Structure 1
């Protein structure tokens, strides 16, 4: 494996980790008004992601920094053509992050409701926007012979990229619902499991359509396997949730997002930004990469520090592994009893983010 190929693989891993971990954050924010009917319940829902949401966003920052250093031409052309969509996504992420920090700074119902709205909108925008962006990248963008973006923002919109946006929105919402079913307690947990049952078939339908379209237009023989595994993960999430196995439902949605990302990057390789004008104008892992010395130094840094970061984040998830408590229902159905939660059932606790 050459150094440019190694860095393409590492960037793909970073984006995959971001979608798997930040995906349930987006899902929780998107479903906030559906699963939480009062301030106490909203606090429970937010507290499930309170200790981890900002750590999950580090994957995005690292992926962006790695792209800038390892593939400067890819970074430059991408941000030239996708400037407005990426700016909208960035604003959504900023507003969402500020809302998490500020909603509890003032004891006023209207104050908190406004920040809750920011959480909802700030979760929906990137959940939809990332699907559109990656759909547009895989579909191809107007790059000229100098590898410069030669189109407008409308060239990024196509039926395929829009389907990608609705797919990520639905799958992340389903992922967030399974996460809430695993991490929350009381009424929030009950509603999350109800929404999981509603969102599962929708996510499976949209995800299956998007993956099949991807395979037909951009796939290769090997991606049939990853496509099948991605669809199987969603199916596992649907079946496990219907049987009250909350832990396995979350494993299924996480595995589906992981294998979907693998499918997309595998279908993209060796291009990093295909040209819709002429295939010879496309940016590839070779013509977009930095010099060998830069990549060599970066590789040593990555080998030394990436395992440390992974161990630290794994430890933080272990520390905050318990359920976040809320007002319990007087009657529990078999499908939501603690005995039926799968491999991750734990005791209830209440914690402020």
Structure 2
């Protein structure tokens, strides 16, 4: 396996990790309005991801940096062609981060309510836009012989990509309901369990249509097993969540995210960004990659730094592993 192939796998791993972790993060943000019935319950939901949301975003920064260094042509075409959607993601992530930090800086109800609304909307919009972006990457966009994007913003809003946006939004929300059930006690936990059934069924239908469409249009022998794993894991996660075994349900919902994103990358390889104009103009791991020397240096750096980051983030989740409820807010205030 060549180094550019290795880095395609590593970048896929970074995106899978990002969507696995930030997926339930976005889902909890959406649930602050769908699940919580009052402001104390919103605080509980936000507190479940309070210690980890910023660490989850490190995966996105690393994925973007790795793409820039390992595949500069891919990075350049992606960020020029998807400039507006990526700008929306960036603005939402900035506002979302500010909302988490500034929500408790003042005690006024209106102040906190507005920041909580910002968390909801930025979580919802970002979850949808990521599906829109990756749907277009897999489907292919207008790339010319100079390996430059020549389409317009309207080309990105096609049925396949819009369905991809609905899939990521619903899947992340379902992932979030399972996470809330795992991290809370009392009435919130029970309500999350009931909502996971409704959201899970919608997610199962949307995901099945999207993944089958992907397999029929772009799939191969390697992507088919990932499709099967994603669908089976999702159905199992919905069923297990109803039994109150949130730990297993979270593992299965996470496996769904992992398998679904892996399937998208498996349909891409050896392309990184297909051209819808001519297959000879596809961006591939070969024509979009950096020099072998650059990739070699990056491999050594990644081999040293990645285990350290994984250990630290795993330790963070272990420290904040306990369940919480509204009564903990009263105890903390006292």
1:333 maps to: none
Secondary structure in 2 matching 1:243: coil
2:121 maps to: 121
2:76 maps to: 76
Q: Equivalences for 1:169-180 in 2 at 5 Å?
A: 169-180=169-180
**Aligned: 1:132 with 2:132:** yes
Moved over 3 A (4+): 348-352
Deviation at 1:351, TM superposition (A): 7.2
1:301 maps to: 301
For structure 1, the residue ranges without an aligned partner over 5 or more in a row are 329-347
Deviation at 1:34, TM superposition (A): 2.2
Q: Give me the whole-angstrom Cα distance separating, in 2, the residues matched to 1:228 and 1:326.
A: 39
CA contact (8 A) 1:142 1:150 kept: yes
**Aligned: 1:67 with 2:59:** no
CA contact (8 A) 1:4 1:286 kept: yes
Secondary structure in 1 matching 2:113: helix
RMSD between aligned alpha carbons?
A: 1.5
Secondary structure in 2 matching 1:323: coil
Q: Equivalences for 1:305-344 in 2 at 5 Å?
A: 305-327=305-327
Q: Give me the whole-angstrom Cα distance separating, in 2, the residues matched to 1:130 and 1:33.
A: 21
1:256/1:351 Cα in 2 relative to 1: closer, same or farther (>3 Å)? Answer: farther
Deviation at 1:197, TM superposition (A): 1.4
TM-score (normalizing by structure 1): 0.92
Q: Equivalences for 1:20-99 in 2 at 5 Å?
A: 20-99=20-99
CA contact (8 A) 1:187 1:326 kept: no
Q: Point out the more displaced range, 149-158 or 11-20.
A: 149-158
For structure 2, the residue ranges without an aligned partner over 5 or more in a row are none
CA contact (8 A) 2:137 2:274 kept: yes
1:289/1:315 Cα in 2 relative to 1: closer, same or farther (>3 Å)? Answer: same
CA contact (8 A) 1:18 1:57 kept: yes
1:7 maps to: 7
1:248 maps to: 248
**Aligned: 1:159 with 2:128:** no
Q: Give me the whole-angstrom Cα distance separating, in 1, the residues matched to 2:262 and 2:330.
A: 36
Deviation at 1:350, TM superposition (A): 7.2
Deviation at 1:236, TM superposition (A): 1.1
TM-score (normalizing by structure 2): 0.97
